[in-house]
Structure 1
Amino acid sequence: MTEYWEPGTTIEWVYEGTGRHADLPNVRPMTVVRDDADGLVAWLAPGTPLLKPVLVDGREVRHAGPVGMFTERRVLKLDVWRGTGILKVSPPGKPWSVWCFWGADGTFRGWYVNLEREHVRDWAARRTSTVDHVLDLWINPDRSIEWKDEDELEGAVEAGRFTPAEAERIVADAHAAIRDIEAWTAPFSDGWEMWTAPAGWRVPAAPTTHQPELIAEELHS
């Protein structure tokens, strides 16, 4: 019998670290909206405390450039999600998740396809884990498609994060996602852009899996 999380359950949506950064994951506590044979849907609320890798001086990883972001030393930082909330959908059997974004005024901005490894669940820890594949797609409300972070995928290959063959498979996955978008299949056709979070939902507590003091130790070493 297939197991699913109940709506309202707090889980951790984890992007695992890789290579020299294997012990530095990105951990986002989220609330389950729906979980069934059609996929996992979870909500990242504004103000949610999270753990994320940053450069040792505290700057965002991307500040190191498309190659350095994969080679420079990192530490974990306890931070807060400062943007508007994100609704994330992990379709079964797909190497990507689909994120819904809204503006500060509640206007729907578009869908974001995050290329990533198919998720693996840890039921005891209430955690769903994946690995980010760097390349992304942005879908505007008019369904026009934009490619994102192609330079970072090239940098990942140059840095040895991916082999050229792996990068080719990631690009092929993006094209597969585009076919789903053009056919307007689920989850794009599911109407999630109209969803709003229940007023009674609380912001999840900070992750406890890893110690954010690592950033302080690195900065003073």
Structure 2
Amino acid sequence: MTDYWQPGTTIEWVYRGTGRHVDKPNVRPMTVVRDDADGLVAWLAPGTPLIKPVLVDGREMRNAGPVAMFTQDRALKLDIWRGTGILKVLPPGKPWSVWHFWADDGTFRGWYVNLEAPHVREAEAFRTSTVDHVLDLWIRSDRTIEWKDEDELEGAVTAGRFTEAEAEQIVADAHAAVRDIEAWVSPFADGWKDWMPPSHWRLPTAPTTHQPVFVAEELTG
């Protein structure tokens, strides 16, 4: 029996750290839109405070390159979500989540398939956690598909983050997602691109951590 969260509930959507970075998670507070047997749908609002891993000098992980980003030491940073909001849909039984993106003027831009491990739900802690699988797909509003971060997946194998066999499975999962896109099944066909957050929803509070963090200028007052 699954304990579903009520719409409007604040949860934490967590990408766990792995290996020597196990204590450096990416924690995004989000608001539940829907949660039932058909999947979890949650909203990451613009300006939401979050915690994310960065390089020890405060730079973004990608600045280290596709191999070193998985090997260099990390720190945590208290930051905010920049840009427009994201509606995330977690379909049951799929090794990915589907993110919906909009432009500043509200025009729908497209869908993003984030390959990731099956989520571990902690109902009483209001947390769902997974491990990012690096490889992603971008689906434009005309349904054309672009593969993203293939170089980073190769870098993750070189760095020992994934084995060759694990990387092959991740690529196979991406091909399975492509088949869902081409068949235009849920959640792509569910009309979430026309969804809007209720005006009374407020930003979640910042997640807590017992570790020292960099603090973004926007949060220092």
TM over 0.5: yes
Kept in 2, the 8 Å contact 1:56–1:215? The answer is: no
% of aligned pairs identical?
Answer: 78
Who is 1:213 aligned against? 212
Question: Shift in Å at residue 49 of structure 1?
Answer: 0.2
**1:182 alignment partner, SS class:** helix
Q: How far apart in 2 are the matches of 1:212 and 1:110? A: 36
Q: Report the AA paired with residue 211 of structure 1.
A: H
Question: Shift in Å at residue 102 of structure 1?
Answer: 0.3
Question: Shift in Å at residue 103 of structure 1?
Answer: 0.4
Who is 2:46 aligned against? 46
Who is 1:65 aligned against? 65
**1:66 alignment partner, SS class:** coil
**1:154 alignment partner, SS class:** helix
Q: How far apart in 2 are the matches of 1:118 and 1:157? A: 20
Question: Shift in Å at residue 215 of structure 1?
Answer: 4.2
- Cα shift readout 1:6-48 (whole Å, capped 9, x = no counterpart): 0000000000000110000000000000001110000000010
Kept in 2, the 8 Å contact 1:136–1:149? The answer is: yes
**2:170 alignment partner, SS class:** helix
Who is 1:147 aligned against? 147
Q: How far apart in 1 are the matches of 2:176 and 2:187? A: 14
Q: Report the AA paired with residue 16 of structure 1.
A: R
1:172 equivalent in alignment to 2:178: no
Q: How far apart in 2 are the matches of 1:99 and 1:27? A: 16
**2:66 alignment partner, SS class:** helix
Give ranges in structure 1 of 5+ residues lacking alignment: 217-221
Normalised TM-score (structure 1): 0.96
Q: How far apart in 2 are the matches of 1:2 and 1:46? A: 29
Alignment of 1:30-179 (within 5 A): 30-179=30-179
- Cα shift readout 1:122-161 (whole Å, capped 9, x = no counterpart): 1121000000000000000000000000000000000000
Q: How far apart in 2 are the matches of 1:214 and 1:164? A: 34
Post-superposition, which runs of at least 4 consecutive aligned residues in structure 1 deviate over 3 A? none
Q: How far apart in 1 are the matches of 2:122 and 2:26? A: 16
Q: How far apart in 1 are the matches of 2:211 and 2:50? A: 10
**1:133 alignment partner, SS class:** strand
Q: How far apart in 1 are the matches of 2:198 and 2:109? A: 20
Q: How far apart in 1 are the matches of 2:90 and 2:117? A: 11
Q: Report the AA paired with residue 110 of structure 1.
A: G
Give ranges in structure 2 of 5+ residues lacking alignment: 216-221
Kept in 2, the 8 Å contact 1:77–1:212? The answer is: no
Kept in 2, the 8 Å contact 1:66–1:156? The answer is: yes
Who is 2:9 aligned against? 9
Aligned length: 215
